[in-house]
């Protein structure tokens, strides 16, 4: 697997991967509305020019994953908006490979020893993946978010090099 910076040329893959509002919320929180559009992404990138979207490419250079690296005020970058696109490709190690590449990118860009991320408490496949990589939950770092009149718990995790 390799990573490349996202360009609008990849939007058709991303829009096909996000099949409903609940998946969009799980992937992107409340920043976007379903169905996701090019204009939403362009607006987000204009409002956050220091954040970078990435695409994970499989061995034949087909897009299989999407993610974001977010600089934070505490000089610890955060990985966000992680998605293995095609549901048939989930559980095959693409997430682990993609996150390792994003971690290396964070280390190169920010010379950091720590990278953080948020995960929905009930997103057990993601929690399992992140823990397998070495992310650990940060104590007393949880928030409630609301989506479709339901409350969800968002947990913060950190990876230390």
CATH code of the domain covering residue 104: 3.40.630.30
Residue-range definition of the domain harbouring residue 64: 2-115
Q: Is residue 7 part of a domain?
A: yes
pLDDT of 18 over the 90 cut: yes
Residue 10 CA to its chain's centroid (Å): 16
Q: What percent of the chain has pLDDT over 70?
A: 100
At 70-111, the pLDDT tens digits run 999 889 999 999 999 988 888 889 999 999 999 999 999 999
- pLDDT at residue 87, rounded to an integer: 83
Q: Is residue 30 part of a domain?
A: yes
- 66 by DSSP, 3-state: which? strand
Mean pLDDT calculated for residue range 9-14: 96
How many domains does the chain fold into? 1
Using CA atoms, how far apart are residues 44 and 36, in angstroms rounded to an integer? 12
Mean pLDDT calculated for residue range 40-69: 97
Give me the chain's average pLDDT, please: 95
Mean pLDDT calculated for residue range 121-143: 95
Q: What are phi and psi of 102, to 5 degrees?
A: -65, -35
């Amino acid at each position: 697997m390799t990573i490349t910076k996202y360009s609008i040329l990849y939007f058709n893959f991303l829009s096909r991967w996000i099949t409903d509002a609940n998946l969009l919320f799980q992937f992107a929180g409340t920043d976007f509305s379903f169905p996701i559009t090019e204009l939403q992404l362009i607006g987000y990138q204009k409002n956050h020019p220091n954040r970078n979207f990435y695409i994970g490419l499989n061995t034949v250079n087909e897009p299989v994953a999407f993610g974001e690296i977010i600089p934070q005020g505490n000089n610890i970058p955060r990985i966000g908006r992680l998605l293995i696109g095609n549901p048939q490709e989930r559980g095959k190690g693409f997430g682990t490979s993609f996150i390792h590449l994003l971690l290396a990118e964070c280390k190169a860009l920010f010379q950091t020893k720590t990278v953080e991320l948020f995960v929905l408490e009930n997103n057990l496949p993601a929690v399992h993946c992140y823990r397998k990589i070495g992310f650990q939950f940060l104590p007393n770092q949880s928030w409630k978010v609301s989506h479709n009149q339901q409350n969800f718990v968002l947990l913060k995790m950190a990876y230390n090099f």
